[in-house]
Amino acid sequence: MYYSEAQARDLVVKAGHMLQEKGLVERTWGNISARISETRFVITPSGLAYETMRPEYLAVYDFADGSWQGPYKPSSEKGIHADAYRLRPEVAFVIHTHQDMASICGIRGEGLDAHDPLLGDRVPCAAYGLSSTKKLRRAVAKELEANPQSKAILMRRHGVLCVGKDMEEAFSLADRLEELCSGRFTALVEAPALPASPEELGDSFRDGDYFTLKLGGQERRCPIYRKNGDAAASLHAAIYKNSDAQCILHCRDAYVLEASRRLRRLRPMLDDLAQIAGADILCVPPEEAKVLKALEGRSAVLIKGQGALCIGDAPDEARAVLRLLEKGCRAQAYADAIGGCRPLSYGDALLQRIVFVKKYSKKKQRG
C-alpha cells in the first residue's frame, strides 16, 4: 500500500502529535515517514520540533537516487527509513522514537522476549552506533533483514524503530513496546525511597537583568547583578550572571534525587542525554563556585542530595533537559539492576554533545 503524498504529509504530522501526547517523543528527537511509492517517502525534516510541524514542511526522499525535495533537509536518519522500505515491501509507515522505557531496556544491547500478538515473539536489538552514522544504519538494517517477522527493533543506547503497514500499526507497535518495557523496568528496578521533604531550590525565568523565582509556592522578582537575600536566589543569580541560561528548573524526581545522593557524576547511558545535557553530569554541593564550574559545557548539574538544576536558553529547552535527565537517571537505575552495562564512552558522549550544541540546537527555533 502507498499513500498519496497529501495523505502521507497529513498522517506524518498527525503521528508526531500523537507520539507527543503519549510521551513517546521529545522536542526534535526521533523521526517519522510514510511511503508514497516504491522508492519515495515523506519524512520529517532534520531539527524541526513536532509542535511546529506542518505538512508543507516535510521532505520527500527517493532512496533510488538519494534525491529529495522540500523546504528543509530530510531527517539525518533517512537512510534507516530507506532501508526499512527497501527490505520490507509491505511497510508503508515508519516511526523512530526515543521513548523512555524501550530506550532504557535497550542499553545492554540485547533483544527482548515479547510473546505478544502485536510485537511477535521477540524484539531484536541493533548494535550501537553514533546517531546519524552509517554504522548505526548498517546495524539496524542487519536486524531488519535477520528478523523478518519483527516489526519493532531496539537501537542500543539510542531508541526504537517501528515499521507498520500503516500509521495505526506503527503507532500501536511503539505504544505496546513502551508498555512491555515499562513492566520489565518495574519488575527489575526497586523504586527509590524519597526523603521526607527534599529541599527546594526553586525554578526561575530570566527577564533582562531580573528573574522571577518560584520557591515555596511563592513568586518574587529578583535582581541578577545585586545581592539577593537568600541562598537559592543568590545561586540562580550567579548562574544567570555566568551563562546564557534564560530558565533554571530544579528537578526533584525520585530517580534524580537518588542519583544525587549516591553518585559523584552521572555518565550517560543514552545518547540523547549526552547531547542535551553533557558528556557527564557532575554532582556538587549547592555552592555557587562549584555549581558554576560543574555547569561549564553542560546543561545540568546534580546537587548533592537535592536533585538537579537544569538550564536552558528557553523554558522548553530547560524542560527538555529535565525530562532527559529523569530518563537518564532511570537508565542508570536499570543498569545497576541488570549489571554488566557500562555508560557511553566519554569520547562518544562528548562528540554527540559538541554536534548538538554546534548544529542541531541552532535549528530548534525554526518554523
pLDDT digits (tens, 9 = 90+) for 157-196: 999 999 999 999 999 999 999 999 999 999 999 999 876 6
Q: Distance between CA 284 and CA 46 in Å, rounded?
A: 36
Q: Matching CATH topology for 5-188 and 203-363?
A: yes
Nearest CA among 25, 22, 348, 48 for reference residue 159: 25
The 3-state DSSP class for residue 30 equals: coil
Task: Calculate the average pLDDT of the chain.
Answer: 93
Nearest CA among 342, 25, 24 for reference residue 156: 342
Q: Annotate 177-187 with b (16+ C-beta within 10 A) or e (fewer).
A: bbebbbebbee
Task: Assess if CATH 3.20.20.60 describes domain 5-188.
Answer: no
Does the model's pTM come out above 0.75?
Answer: yes
pLDDT at 360: 57
284 strand-pairing partners: 303
Maximal C-alpha separation, the chain: 66
**Residue written as grid cell 515508519:** 94
Contacts of 326 (CB under 8 A, 6+ apart): 251, 253, 255, 256
Q: Which grid cell sits at 270?
A: 543514552
Q: Spell out the SS3 assignment of 249-270.
A: EEECCHHHHHHHHHCCEECCCC
The 3-state DSSP class for residue 36 equals: coil
Residue with the larger pLDDT of the pair 224 and 24: 224
Superfamily assignment of 203-363 in CATH? Class II aldolase/adducin N-terminal domain (3.40.225.10)
Q: Distance between CA 226 and CA 204 in Å, rounded?
A: 16
Nearest CA among 182, 144, 32, 12 for reference residue 96: 32
pLDDT at 122: 95
Contact, 108 vs 89, CB < 8 A? no
Q: Which grid cell sits at 229?
A: 537575600
List, for residues 121-162, the tens digit of each pLDDT value. 999 999 999 988 999 999 999 999 999 999 999 999 999 999
Contact, 330 vs 104, CB < 8 A? yes
Contacts of 188 (CB under 8 A, 6+ apart): 334, 337, 338
Burial class (CB in 10 A: 0-12, 13-18, 19+), 49: buried
pLDDT at 49: 79
Domain locations along the chain: 5-188, 203-363
Judge whether residue 249 has pLDDT over 60.
Answer: yes
159 strand-pairing partners: 155
pLDDT at 367: 39
Q: Which grid cell sits at 47?
A: 531539527
